[in-house]
Amino acid sequence: MRIGVLGAAGIVPSALVKPARGNAEVEVAAIAARDPRRAAEFAAKHGIPKVHTTYDELLADPSLDAVYNPTPNGLHGRWTLAALEAGKHVLCEKPFTANADEATTVARAAAASGLVVMEAFHYRYHPFALRMEEILASGELGTVLHVETAMSFPLPSFSDIRYSLPLAGGAMMDAGCYTVHMARVLAASTPTVVSASAKLRSPGVDRAMTASLRFPTGATGRVRCSLWSSDVIRIAARVTCTRGELRAINPLSPQFWHRLSVRGPGGRRVERFTHRPSYDYQLDAFANAVLRDGPVSTPPEDAIETMTVVDGIYRAAGLEPRVPTP
């Protein structure tokens, strides 16, 4: 699978370039960026053989099978649609689109195209996430009563695009979409939003967000995220059940230090997992889907559900859902 990259974003080396070096079925074959000089420098540094001067030129390259889309949030939908129109499979960074309406539009285009479109929630493909899902589905801990997920880290560079309202930025979009997605996975359903509270960096742009949720089963939930708050670093999940509890530390990037603690009828145990990067598992899954019609755990239909909750959290906090960048 020959893949082209739309932009020289900071996430590209860890999310694609390094994993591709360990995957004999994938070649990062081309890149384009808004600044052609930056694209050329990036290509030289990371061994990417071809540089295109524009995104459209890259999409028109017949030698490419797929596209990795790490553009700013507000541009995800536009360039995923353009890639599909060009006949390319797409690995799109999260959040999938600016809002749920745009996710629905992209999902329809993806279904009509017959191409693989995967949202890049890389943690979802790691054995850590698969094991949490397996434990909860097994019935070992009984019925899920309450789910809490959190992702907080400091981003003091306030000129960063993740704080840009025109580019669909905000803590809920960047970190919060992970907490919403993981809460959905752990509860095996999509919640409604009960309430939400935001701390603002600038008008309309959240630097931190907390929301209360309710799932169709009656279980409750709470998600927390921040890019700048007193909750400096927290990446965790906790699921309270009728017969026990599951606690996870750093389930989103388990290639670093992590811990899964399970307390059930048989006592308490701790499980640990491989330090192979979650991005490697994600690229394996994407290649398998493209080359062999393998399963996708984060398809466009799943993204609609996540973005519906994200939109609901913004509204409950008195803010407007994000809009696509013109």
Which pLDDT value is given to residue 256?
85
Active site residues: 94
Model pTM?
Answer: 0.97
Residues 6+ positions from 215 with CB-CB distance below 8 Å: 144, 147, 187, 189, 190, 191, 221
Nearest Cα to Cα of residue 144 among 211, 177, 191: 191
- Please tell me the predicted confidence (pLDDT) of residue 254: 86
The whole-number pLDDT of residue 233 equals 94
pLDDT, residue 253, reads 86
**Residue numbers in the chain where pLDDT is lower than 50:** none
The whole-number pLDDT of residue 316 equals 98
34: phi then psi, degrees, rounded to nearest 5: -60, -30
Cβ count within 10 A of residue 127 = 15
| Helix axes of 127-138 and 177-187: crossing angle, nearest 10 degrees | 40
Q: Looking at residue 120, what is its pLDDT?
A: 98
pLDDT for the residue 112: 98
Q: Give the model confidence (pLDDT) of 137-175 as tens digits.
A: 999 999 999 999 999 999 999 999 999 999 999 999 999
Scored b (16 or more CB within 10 A) or e, 180-206 reads: bbbbbbbbeebbebeebebbebeeebb
Q: What is the pLDDT of residue 255?
A: 85
